[in-house]
Amino acid sequence: MRVPLSWLREYVDLPATETGRDVQAKLVSAGLEVETVEQLGADLKGPLVVGQVLTIEELEGFKKPIRFCTVDVGTANGTGEPQEIVCGARNFAVGDKVVVVLPGAVLPGGFAISARKTYGRNSHGMICSSDELGMGDDGTKGIIVLPPETEVGKDAIELLELVDEVLDIAVTANRGDCLSIRGVARETAIAYGLPLRDPALLDVPGPNAFGHPVQVSDPFGCDRFTARTVTGLDPEARSPIWLKRRLQKVGMRPISLAVDITNYVMMELGQPLHAYDRNLVQGTIGVRRATEGEKIVTLDGVTRKLHAEDLVITDDRGPIGLAGVMGGADTEIADHDAEDGANASTEVVIEAAHFDQVSIARTARRHKLSSEASRRFERGVDPLAASAAAQRTVDLLVLLAGGTADAGVTEVIAPSAPHTIAVPADHPDKVAGVVYGRETVVRRLQEVGCDVYGQDELIVTVPSWRPDLADINDLAEEVIRLEGYENLPSTLPKPPSGRGLTHRQRLHRRVGRALAGAGYVEAPNYPFISEQVFDQLGLDADDPARRVVRLTNPLSDEEPALRTSLLPGLLGALRRNDGRGSHDLALFETGLVFQPRAEQGVAVALPVDRRPTDEEIATLDAALPEQPRHVAVVLAGAREQAGWWGKGRPADWADAVEAGRVVAREAGAELIVRKGQYGPWHPGRCAEFVVVVDGAERVVGHAGELHPRVVKALGLPARTCAAELDLDVLEQVGDDTPQAPSISSFPVATQDVALVVDEFVPHTEVEAALREGAGELLEGIRLFDVYENAEQLGEGRKSLAYALRFRAGDRTLTVDEASAARDAAVALAGERTGAVLRS
């Protein structure tokens, strides 16, 4: 929200010496986030005056149209003679009043003006556009043409209000009242302890039976609708300079007088309005839910297909506007300068209504149509300001457009009671840990507009412009922020010594360090996903990973669910980095995934004035989804770079499997790796990770090369590999107690063995049998060769060569002992896998 300081001073008598920076400090202390203070015209230096074009000579022989003009600037040039100026703009004519900058002036950006020869003529100054003066977009894209009654020679800096300060406030979602000059003025008045001149305090006539007919069919979606009519508007009337400048300062573009007035009142009071051409409205104005599939052409010229939940404004023909979002083209106000200027609107119906916040937010998001009106309705608009805003609009149309206010006043109001809250007078004291006292609490609540009664227990009636004050803690926050967050005592907690990180946190950090040491780069991602990604990953229709927790109010409609896997985010990061030229990638992430419970509970709000009880915490935990921590890696491109040291090699499925082993080693878990097949992985290049939990095997993850269909669907590099494991289960079965290495003084006995097995037999099964059969003398085992040759081994057979290391802790092993252990290992492998010694 952009707030000009000059506009703010109309409602609060700030000290003349107060600057925008001073006001910023006060508002920040009161809890508003004032991001910047823009100094308009800070580097602007005159003379900048009003001139009248006397003659225009078209210069020929140049690539673009050039005009040589003489302009009367009065005595501003010191001589009273016409000023000669060369100009390339075409949107002005002889007799027009324009803004002229004379030699010696400096325009925004440090652009100094001097007399110079250009296009064969001497030019003494410049005729200015709004962009050149830093005024913002005025809709003309050309020279500023002033009203005919403007005095020649008048100081244009003062006329156009070019020097000002504008506060840019980042308004949070709960403070819709501050999306208006009125709301910010109220906060400023409180911060300075000054009275507020409320612009909404107007004499408003009561409703009667003579106004434009209105029928509200959905009182929940629209609980208040005010309609006023103004006739006899002068089609030649234009927005005055002060009105245009205020709109430009708050970031809006002037359009036409009627539209500018509705925008002005919206920025002033925070109440969105809409003006309909009365001659284009057919019959009764209605408010209802749309019929599924209905269509409307909005003011931006887009034909929109409506949803059954959309709230629409209608007449006898059908929808004429998306309620609270944007009006329809069928009843648009026609300006005299438009193509159909002959049919300029002379009679308008003003709509000032109050719509349901959630309904407007969903409609705006559904149609991807965020407007100034929808931004305000989403955050909460003062329902009692509608009639005042309509009256303010009528007054300005009468004043500036020469209209006549129709006697009819239509108001449709759904009955409602003011919101009251019972709060102990010392509740803010308990929340803040500061003794404010009852008088301070009452005074601060009254300053924000609350009616307060009672002694030890206060009965607080919340003002209509603060729908965010819903419970006692909201009231406590108001007291605390107005008393100053900076005045809260700062007390550092004193944790008991010797605790440090939890076991889970230590494992999380160790895994991250181990993967980083293995060459992976951590890439944390947002936990939001699209459900379409499961199709791209090739998951079965009944895969548990498809059961997701959906967000009620997602940041993006394209990603409305919480992730059940880390892979979608990591693969997206890999795709983005590959698209930006980084082709050799190894990324990892450790994070939570979210699995809905079979029975979903309802979360309760925990107290803030005391520690929640164990039962309250347990109830809250039971309402949350399961949130196990996973770890995942993705790889693409080269795993080892080529250079003078060698050829290098690409990343493959074995690297992904090894990453799983690295994680298991850090957790102290015994990981079983065997052939698997699941979802996004290539069925012939997928490993399954298994651990034993309470005597039963449990799959904790997969690793390998992704299926080509998945690679294509996600736009990934060819042969992309990935792995994902459940880190919590590894922690559960692991024993990460540090083990000192046993160093023997006796020599090792090495035996190599080559076994021939069927090609479908995984080497892990062979290795497990060898390990068990060799017994306690086996110190280590390593697969060092895989050989396939149909002529030597037979069709469908392969040879696996292992190096076995034997050692005893109390003696030197004899050859017979090592050979016996080897033979036992081979025998068990043959029994279990059909392995035979290769001759």
Q: Which residues are annotated as a binding site for Mg(2+)?
A: 468, 474, 477-478
Separation of alpha carbons 608 and 612, rounded Å: 8
**Coil vs helix vs strand at 5:** helix
- 422: tokens are 């019972």
Nearest alpha-carbon partner for 179 in 470, 465, 553: 465
Strand order in the sheet with 749-758: 778-787, 797-806, 749-758, 836-837
Tokens 């200027």, located at residue: 341
Cβ(762)–Cβ(674) under 8 Å? yes
Displacement of CA 699 from its chain's centroid (Å): 37
Separation of alpha carbons 442 and 425, rounded Å: 8
User: CA-based angle 482:487:490, to the nearest 5?
Assistant: 135
**Coil vs helix vs strand at 599:** coil
- 118: tokens are 């250009």
Separation of alpha carbons 628 and 727, rounded Å: 8
Separation of alpha carbons 193 and 187, rounded Å: 10
Return the HEC string of 84-129.
Answer: EEEECCCCCCCCCEEEEECCCCEECCCEECCCEEECCEEECCEECE
Which residues are annotated binding-site positions? 468, 474, 477-478
Residues contacting residue 619 through CB under 8 Å, at least 6 positions apart: 601, 604
User: CA-based angle 235:237:243, to the nearest 5?
Assistant: 135
Residue 751 half-sphere exposure, CB side, CA atoms within 13 Å? 24
- 816: tokens are 């017979």
Cβ(444)–Cβ(478) under 8 Å? yes
Displacement of CA 352 from its chain's centroid (Å): 29
Q: Give, in order, the Cα–Cα distances in Å from 281 to each of 229, 259, 321, 342.
A: 12, 17, 11, 19
Angle subtended by helix axes 372-379 and 257-269, to nearest 10: 20
Cβ(593)–Cβ(564) under 8 Å? yes
Separation of alpha carbons 742 and 15, rounded Å: 81
